[in-house]
Homo-oligomer: A and B are copies of this chain.
């Protein structure tokens, strides 16, 4: 086998999964650890991956494109997974959906890779990268100015793109939700974009884990009644769920399945 072919295979594997161990690669490629290490070093030089003890992490599949998000995603990650999984069921093949950049929505995007005839519009480069190789998903991006803190696009180009489309569904992360004040967010530009997404979509799906409830943030987005479906986790206070349902919001409570991990094949996240 050509060395180039081998490295291509490693890229392939890393496009399907975020991490890979060196010993797995030895087995998969039929070469010794020394060769695998050399390949990984070369690919790291190319910026394809980042090596870590025992294997490597993909740089192209974008979770580690955003350090701030990654640190965030560790907290409540079980809940986020459950919410993302539940919300993914609400997206049907053949639909056109907007995915707004946020950790939970990104989690959801990963689950859409195998879909067919799905059209995804997003303002998040991370989500674009995540879906780049899924052959069954058409990806559009609004473009715009990149916000360095939140890592998605806003500004005139993004707004105009949003003003020109109509979507079956929009999926939004929510950073603060309060029954009386409604939905709010820390960033003015983000609020503006969220408002426009809300206007463009027939069905508005909001994702919020239990820590977001009863909080208010700087920039107002809209009343809770603007939300059609809200997906949250089982840790949410029932009074919020009741209040939302009274306001006409369909609430989906995602159950965290398998609380204890079995023979976990997780990569170590220590630094």
Contact = CB atoms under 8 A, between A and B. Distances in A.
A180 to B, nearest CB: 33
Contact of A142 (B2, B66, B157): B157
Interface in A117-133: 125-126, 128-129, 131-133
Nearest to A60: B126
Interface string A106-126: 000010000000000000011
Interface in A128-156: 128-129, 131-133, 135, 138-146, 148, 151, 153, 155
A149 B255 CA distance: 38
Count of chain copies: 2
A4 interface: yes
A144 B74 CA distance: 31
Interface in A255-269: none
Contacts of A67: 133
A210 interface: no
B144 A8 contact: no
A2 B66 contact: no
Contacts of A62: 129
Contacts of A158: 143
B143 A66 contact: no
Contacts of A7: 74
A65 B153 contact: no
A3 B140 contact: no
Contact of A148 (B75, B125, B132): B132
A42 interface: yes
A212 interface: no
B4 A8 contact: no
A211 interface: no
A57 interface: yes
Nearest to A127: B125
A8 B66 contact: yes
A142 B143 contact: yes
Interface in A1-46: 2-5, 7-8, 11-12, 15, 18-19, 21, 42-43, 45-46
B42 A74 contact: yes
Given A128-B125, A129-B62, A144-B141, A74 B4 contact: yes
B141 A153 contact: yes
Contacts of A243: none
A139 B21 CA distance: 34
Interface in A223-260: none
Contact of A52 (B4, B66, B133): B4
Output the residue of A60, A132, A144 with the most chain B CB within 10 A: A132
